[in-house]
Amino acid sequence: MVSHSHLIQYLDFTDWGIFFAVLAATLASVIYGQTLKNKLTKEEQLSTLELLLMGRKLTLPIFVATLVATWYGGIFGVTALTFEKGIYNLLTQGIFWYVSYILFAFFLVKRIRQFDVMTIPELSGKLFGPKAERLTASLNFLNLLPLAYTISLGLFLQAMFGGTLLMNTSLGVLLVTLWSLWGGFRAVVFSDVVQFFFMILAVVLVVVFAWAKMGSPLTLIDKLPASHMDWSGGEKLSAILVWGFIALSTLVDPNFYQRCLAADSEKTARRGILISTVIWFLFDCCTTLGALYARAAMPEADPQNAYLQFSIQLVPHGVRGLILAGILAIILSTLDSYLFNAATCVSYDFFKLKDRFKIWHHHIALIFVAIISVILGMQFDGNVIEVWKTLGSFSAACLLFPMLMGQMFPGRITEQSFCWAVSLGCLGIVSWKILNHLYHFSAIDEFYIGLLLTTVILLPNLVKKKA
């Protein structure tokens, strides 16, 4: 197979017809969601609850569709990791995360829904105080910046049409921003329903055609480097465990909280997460197998877009358009959610516009987030995995332990202790990373420094009596 070419040359009229039909179906789903919104009273339509949580009316099928679709925008990151390191990806980007999802379902859903809140910073404010709410909003914003997904969209368009990553990323994010400005969380949810179907179909079709053309996955053992069957990926245990902790950041993930708070019941949220976990496992198996097939067929390809190149050259016309639409759906379904929630963090949490919340505040914040995401995303040179590790470290190391302790032992941690712990944890991560980059004096990941500082400061509070 050819490894360096623009995908547009492999498409014919049928492919383009199917590709745009999927986009049209997505738009139709958003319009349908708006027609349902128009049946609400004027007061309900303009309410903050409707804009941010769709009135807390997510039923089980819609909950599953929007949660699954939102969680997989970095497909080029996970497939590139598989292409380079094999099943190590399934451990670090799969198994660790499934454990986190199950923990969330059984231990956090009930606690979260007991609070009358709409966001994680608002929950932090109720647990600790207003200063803690602002600090949590700052870290939440870092966690929500969709750098990985703006990069993924840019890589997709670049593989399709050529050009620079900056140009493709800018144009792609511009279109998604225009989409996201219309309809609030409802538009995100209803577009996710259609995108969920096509993203699943796309990754399954890649495996089906690869299996038919190249043989059973068992034959890959002989076609791939031996290291690709090593769960450690050649990494040290400390580096592997960092991904385990980053996966635990799911327990303070804004998208998880938003959908659990938007569900029509606690039962829907818990069952929805468990069903989603099964779907995520099957999805991960498909993307991992697809990337391994790509490595066997195109070992010299660029890891960042090898999966996409392989998929399009593998399947016949018609199916190519469907797979392209499915892969684009994977990216868009995550990017629009992160843009929306990052804008919510700015307008609703950081600037505390709760009592006078207006849609235009949110729109301005969304445009700001889009611009920042493109600018910062270019600093990572298209490396999605590095984005996840860099930004995910702050939430996992500095916010996870304090927030969990606040929910498990309310009243034990003071606002002052919370702020000191989180701030010093962040300072420790940044300082250690800079010093280690300059002097290379330690192999210890900066994540562990942040986690240590945060934990040590808060532990004495847990033995105190409830405030």
For 271-287, what is each residue's pLDDT tens digit? 999 999 999 999 999 99
Model pLDDT, residue 6: 73
In this prediction, residues 252-265 reach a mean pLDDT of: 91
Percent of the chain with pLDDT over 70: 96
Q: Assign 246 a pLDDT band (cuts: 50, 70, 90).
A: confident
Tens digits of per-residue pLDDT, 167-204?
988 988 988 888 777 767 888 899 999 999 999 999 99
Percent of the chain with pLDDT over 90: 39
In this prediction, residues 420-446 reach a mean pLDDT of: 86
3-state secondary structure the chain: CCCCCCHHHHCCHHHHHHHHHHHHHHHHHHHHHHHHHCCCCHHHHCCHHHHHHHHHCECHHHHHHHHHHHCCCCHHHHHHHHHHHCCHHHHHHHHHHHHHHHHHHHHHHHHHHCCCCCCHHHHHHHHCCHHHHHHHHHHHHHHHCCHHHHHHHHHHHHHHHCCCHHHHHHHHHHHHHHHHCCCHHHHHHHHHHHHHHHHHHHHHHHHHHHHHHHCCHHHHHHHCCHHHHCCCCCCCHHHHHHHHHHHHHHHHCHHHHHHHHHECCHHHHHHHHHHHHHHHHHHHHHHHHHHHHHHHHCCCCCCCCHHHHHHHHHCCCCHHHHHHHHHHHHHHHHHHHHHHHHHHHHHHHHCCCCCCCCHHHHHHHHHHHHHHHHHHHHHHCCCHHHHHHHHHHHHHHHHHHHHHHHHHCCCCCCHHHHHHHHHHHHHHHHHHHHHHHHHCCCCCCHHHHHHHHHHHHHHHHHCCCCC
Full-model pTM: 0.88
Model pLDDT, residue 353: 62
In this prediction, residues 372-390 reach a mean pLDDT of: 78
Average pLDDT value over all residues in the chain: 87
In this prediction, residues 215-237 reach a mean pLDDT of: 88
Q: Which residue segments constitute the domains of the chain, with CATH numbers given?
A: 7-380 (1.20.1730.10)
